[in-house]
Amino acid sequence: MNQIESYDVLVVGSGSAGAMAALRAAAQGISVLIVEKTHKYGGTSAASGGVLWIPNHQLTPNDDSREQALQYLNQLVRGTIQRDRLEAFVDQGPQMIRFLKSEGIGVMPAAWPDYFPDVPGARADRSIICGTFDGRELGDKFTLMREQYTRFKLLNRYAMDLAEFFAISTRGKGWIMAFLKILWRYWSDLGTRSMTRRDRRFTSGAALMGQVYKRVFERGVEVRLETRLDELLVTDGVVKGIRVSSFGRCYEIAARHGVVLCAGGFEWNQALRDRYFPVPGMTRHSSTPEDANRGEALLAGTRIGAATEHTEAGWWIPTMHMPMPAVSNFEEIHQAAFDVGRPHSVCVNREGARFVDEACGYDDFGDAMVADQLKTGANTPCWLVFDANFRSKFTAGGFMPTAIMPDRSIPPDWWDHYIFRADSVEALAAKIHVPAAALQQTVANMNQYAHTGTDPQFGRGGNAYDRMFGDPSVQPNPCLGRIEKPPYYAVAINLGDLGTKGGLKADARGRVLDGNGKPIPQLYAAGNNSGTPFGNRYPGAGATIGPAMTFAYVAADDIAARAGKPVEAHACSIRAAA
């Protein structure tokens, strides 16, 4: 090969996995190049909630343990998984967090219940978040990080952290002061306003990626944007580099010690969705960056004999679509993860029947949509039906509460296309083509459940996770409120996703395996480019980014060991056991 340049390690993709692989490798004196096919770095992670699920993280004194984490996970896992890979995640996750802390990255646990809080071993302190980050600390790379979606911004412009979002979206205590504080913080920042419309205050996923990339850049790592992976270069069975393209120019880059694929999943490739998913859904219903994750790295791996696993499912999340502000010809996707479980509402299929505990974890909600679609053919999309009480207090995807977005402000061409309204349940049923008698009975049932506080069908509000996103002013069950105040509304809910759960099959050291279960020399994968260690389960908030960063960390250590670089003793347990 006649490469123009070479590095010890090439990282494909700039999300949380790619950033961690580069940071950990660079910290050990290994030269790294990150290639990113889009014009922004940070990947899906920068536009996400930025949460990491890491059991036994040891950030605060508590009684969590390896044994308790595995007790919980062993109860959840369905189907075939790689047991040693699952245990490697549990063992190495805390080490990865320790490394982040050593790099000065401010991570902290959040009081977020595991998604199956009644399962033995579950806790409410395994999800980790990052504090707000000042994007101007990235210097001239400030505006090049991928931005948060407008759905995570107040009035499509102002950055909000999670506490501010929940206060404003539910009109919780102090929401007006939070609203005014956000506006003042933005408009008083005259220096940034003179440069860009973008808020310098990075929250959620942008906060995580901002902190990590500050350290990546300080270590001299280059992120080469608009550079797409076209092919893995193999010599005598060993991955020796990559062929990339940028604005039509194709060239090769050599990797002396390894290539780490961290380029996300395949949710924006309809052909791959149709091939792998039992209910494919549509690419446009994904809530990840538009047209970004198309599976190029997955396909490059399979072309050289790599195996795949867990490709049958996505990280599901209910979404809805509505026009972009002031541009009605173009639509954008909004997540409805918590909206579907708020009181004064119900979700029904197109037969007018419930099919799930609406307040459950969003991945479980998606699983229920898939199961109901396979059973009835009357789901995907389903309907979120709610009354004026709900409308006044809660978001419905992109539709904000009436205090912020009153009905009169909704453009006329949105009504009965994106949001439906009627003076009675019967009239609403006619508009959304759902059997009126069935919908009326479902609403009557929900009103009875709200009175007793018990949902005998699906147990809505019966566990800590459900109740976390309910309304404490609604009693006796914060997730069940009567649906009785006209007008009545409905929005269509799509089978959306946060990416795909399946990808290249990688082992406990992050090495990509071939069809015979043997590692492909010098090829690694992490994040949604590889199969999740959890199979088709979503154990807690951050169960995508947590393993992504953990196995990127593990892969970098494995490469460092092969390259003869010193590796911290606490990170060597996998290699010693392998």
Domain limits, the chain: 1-148+204-313+501-578, 158-196, 318-497
Is the Cβ–Cβ distance between 269 and 254 less than 8 Å?
no
Can you read off the two tokens belonging to residue 139?
Answer: 């210097």
Report the Cα–Cα distance between both ends of the chain, in Å, rounded.
32
Structure pTM? 0.93
The confidence score (pLDDT) of residue 151 equals: 66
List the Cα angle 77/204/161 in 5-degree steps: 125
The confidence score (pLDDT) of residue 173 equals: 80
The confidence score (pLDDT) of residue 578 equals: 36
Is the Cβ–Cβ distance between 160 and 182 less than 8 Å?
yes
Is the Cβ–Cβ distance between 150 and 325 less than 8 Å?
yes
Q: What percent of the chain has pLDDT over 70?
A: 97
The confidence score (pLDDT) of residue 1 equals: 44
The confidence score (pLDDT) of residue 359 equals: 97
CA distances from residue 488 to 43, 147, 254, 383 in whole angstroms, order as listed: 39, 35, 61, 12
What sign has the CA pseudo-torsion 450, 454, 457, 463? positive
| Cβ neighbours around 448 below 10 Å, total | 14
DSSP secondary structure of 493-561: EEEEEEEES-EE-B-TTSEEEBTTS-EEEEEEE-GGGB--TTSS---STTTTHHHHHHHHHHHHHHHHH
The confidence score (pLDDT) of residue 2 equals: 53
Domain 1-148+204-313+501-578 has CATH 3.30.1550.10: no
10-residue averages of pLDDT along the chain (578 residues): 80 98 97 97 95 96 95 92 97 98 95 94 96 94 89 79 76 83 86 87 94 98 98 98 97 98 98 97 94 96 98 96 85 93 98 98 97 98 98 92 93 96 98 98 98 98 94 96 98 97 98 98 98 96 97 98 75 36
The confidence score (pLDDT) of residue 192 equals: 86
The confidence score (pLDDT) of residue 568 equals: 63
Q: Tokens 């649906």, residue? A: 483
CATH label, 318-497, candidates 1.10.760.10, 3.90.700.10, 3.30.300.30, 3.40.50.11810: 3.90.700.10
**68-80 per-residue burial string, b: 16 or more CB within 10 A, e: under 16:** bbbebbeebbeee
The confidence score (pLDDT) of residue 317 equals: 97
